[in-house]
Structure 1
Amino acid sequence: MTRTARLAILLVAVLLLGTIGAAAVLRAAERSGRRDQEQAGGPPVRTGAVSLRATAAHSRLLVRNLAWGPHRDEIATAPADRPNGPRTVSGVKCLRFHAAAGTGICLQAVHHALDDTYRAVVLDSHLRPRHAFPAAGIPTRARVSPSGRLVAWTVFVSGDSYAGTKFSTRTAIVDTRTWAIQDNLESFAVTKDGRPYRASDINIWGVTFADDHRFYATLASGGQTYLVRGDVTARTLTTLHRNVECPALSPDGSRIAYKKRVPGASPDAPWRLYVLNLRTMSETPTAEQRNIDDQALWTDNSTLLYALPGDYGSDLWTVPADGGGTARRLMASALAPAYLR
């Protein structure tokens, strides 16, 4: 065999081995990617345009995507009737998020060399920033009024959990037409049990809007929590019911879903999910028996949506609001939902 023939055979062998090696690497990468996706418990994730406008044909569910990968923490959308179908991610990262009528509120961390700061960003229907406000602490709650005009957010100024008593919150409301901000609802006049009330330990959190003037929230003072009805224009808060935290108003405005501290529960897991009838002030426990540390969302007038710890941070669960039925997991690896109808 000539020297030229031997070199040709060697070259073919090298190319063949290289092709086999490259194919093996690609197959391993594909298997690894599939395993990562399966471990995240989520569907395929793809990039694309995400809108905060509902369409006549399909309702959509928006969430903070918690599946592992380069798109973790991005706002994602999926069909409301197929929440575990493919997710379209937006590229916009939020710690807390909510949206309604083409307006979004996104609470973000701003990373610096020595520490992080936080901001509240109002988004347009294409998730583009309209206006940003500094946030005084760690984001925890966010809501948009049904018309999209008002946005609200709550942050922890000190502490990072509602379970204990050593925490302080700051809640703000912004009018997106004028950019006027109520940067601390603790400055509102409080009426408690029919009388004016003042105290140095008042905390307000968990706004849920009825319209562009009225809202509900939690007021804490003296070791007690209360459901309060608020008026943005009059700058007032009026107590309605005790032992209510993180209220969520039903679409028809008749009931409040909330987390309630129950006797005998662990101090680290004290809450169960209840529903309050605003006309009769009667309480109904839901069938969800686990600890709920979230501000629930109504999917319609009969069903509640809320977060529970999951393998990759949080999963979304639903339960009937009337106390019947059973809880079921709706969506894996997701947090901070909003429905576009």
Structure 2
Amino acid sequence: MTLRSRVLILVSALAVLAGVAAASVLHASARADRRDQARPGGPRITSGRLALTGGGRRVVFRNMAWGPHRDELVSVPAADPSGPRTASGVKCLRFHAASGTGVCLRAVHGPVQDTYRAVILDARLRERAHYDVPGVPSRARVSPSGRFASWTAFVGGDSYAGTAFSTRAAIVDTRTGRLTPTLEAYRIVKDGRPYRAADVNFWGVTFAADDRTFYATMATGGSTYLVRGDLRARTLTTLHANVECPSLSPDGTRIAYKKRVQGAPEDAPWHLYVLELRTGHETALAEPRSVDDQLVWRDARTLVYALPGDYGADLYTVPADGTGTAHRLTGAALSPAYVD
């Protein structure tokens, strides 16, 4: 037998062994996926078509359950949030949608390190445009009309709990593609006077229905503020202190947010509140745990948010008027958006 023949036999044998090993890994992974989905109380998930319009009132969110549909956008009827999930095949770390437009923040896996991207989706979850995100995605929002989308990323640090972090909040016009990569480009009015500082950070944009007004958090000098933004004038005006991750109510009169409270642990410092924009009155909500999320209004009376769970995160609800108690909505879920 020649040397070349021996080499060919060796290469063939190695290829067969590699194929067997790969098949074994895939088989084991598939069995693990089926086992994870079969756990008592685990969600039932099937592949299917998912759209952001039509089909009645539904909630779309990132599926956190381990298995073949981990991190995919899934859909369930709003009236049956713990029911069977329809998986889209589209993976997102953060997501939001309104009026047939979605924004999906996702990882782009590279040979050395991951990068991140904001993808604008149409009503059938097809990509319309994408933009580089300069850090780890944190928050995402679409305006009620679908005209504008926003996202926030950590560009230094990875938690809002401490002070050693920096963020960048971007807004894009989904019709024209015009991108404002950072709100630091806007003119700031603080306490009625122009304001500039090197330590300014912004995060957690939420939009009004007029396609002009938005709200966000501004941090500077060790404090946080609710700011009102004007997309045309490109200004940001402080309104109220100690407001983080605002979420504007459907009627545009209230802001739901997390607020730092005295005496709370450093790594869990927040309580949920609702602010009346006209009067400045604050109402504490009936959620005793610290919540690090940007809330979503399910309707005018109820708020939805995430807390840590067995699969990473579960969704909970609480009344927006301070009454009642918090209730678990569904497990293994993150970044909900209610669509019709």
TM-score (norm 1): 0.89
Give the aligned residue type for 2:179.
Answer: I
1:46 corresponding residue in structure 2: 46
Alignment of 1:61-76 (within 5 A): 61-76=59-74
1:11 corresponding residue in structure 2: none
| Contact 1:106/1:123, CA 8 A, preserved across alignment | yes
Matches of 2:182 and 2:290 in 1, distance apart?
Answer: 29
1:7 corresponding residue in structure 2: none
Matches of 1:54 and 1:257 in 2, distance apart?
Answer: 28
RMSD (Å), alpha carbons: 1.7
Report the CA distance between 1:30 and its aligned residue: 11
Give the aligned residue type for 2:96.
Answer: H
Give the aligned residue type for 1:256.
Answer: I
Report the CA distance between 1:117 and its aligned residue: 0.5
Report the CA distance between 1:218 and its aligned residue: 0.1
Matches of 2:296 and 2:331 in 1, distance apart?
Answer: 16
> Any idea what SS the aligned residue of 2:184 has?
helix
Percentage of matched positions with identical amino acids: 65
In structure 2, relative to structure 1, the CA distance for the partners of 1:319 and 1:68 (3 Å cut) is same
The 4+ residue runs of structure 1 with deviation greater than 3 A are 29-35, 38-42
Matches of 2:40 and 2:155 in 1, distance apart?
Answer: 32
> Any idea what SS the aligned residue of 1:294 has?
coil
Count of aligned residue pairs for this structure pair: 312
1:223 corresponding residue in structure 2: 222
Please tell me whether residue 153 in structure 1 is matched to residue 151 in structure 2.
yes
Gaps of at least 5 residues in structure 1 are 1-28
1:15 corresponding residue in structure 2: none
In structure 2, relative to structure 1, the CA distance for the partners of 1:255 and 1:52 (3 Å cut) is same
Matches of 1:80 and 1:313 in 2, distance apart?
Answer: 21
1:260 corresponding residue in structure 2: 259
> Any idea what SS the aligned residue of 1:251 has?
coil
Matches of 1:300 and 1:127 in 2, distance apart?
Answer: 24
Report the CA distance between 1:41 and its aligned residue: 4.0
| Contact 1:62/1:77, CA 8 A, preserved across alignment | yes
2:37 corresponding residue in structure 1: 37
CA shift digits 1:11-45 (9 cap, x unpaired) = xxxxxxxxxxxxxxxxxx99977752254843210
Report the CA distance between 1:187 and its aligned residue: 1.3
1:175 corresponding residue in structure 2: 173
Alignment of 1:249-288 (within 5 A): 249-288=248-287
Please tell me whether residue 197 in structure 1 is matched to residue 207 in structure 2.
no
> Any idea what SS the aligned residue of 1:67 has?
coil
Matches of 1:32 and 1:134 in 2, distance apart?
Answer: 34
TM-score (norm 2): 0.89
Give the aligned residue type for 2:47.
Answer: T
> Any idea what SS the aligned residue of 2:36 has?
helix
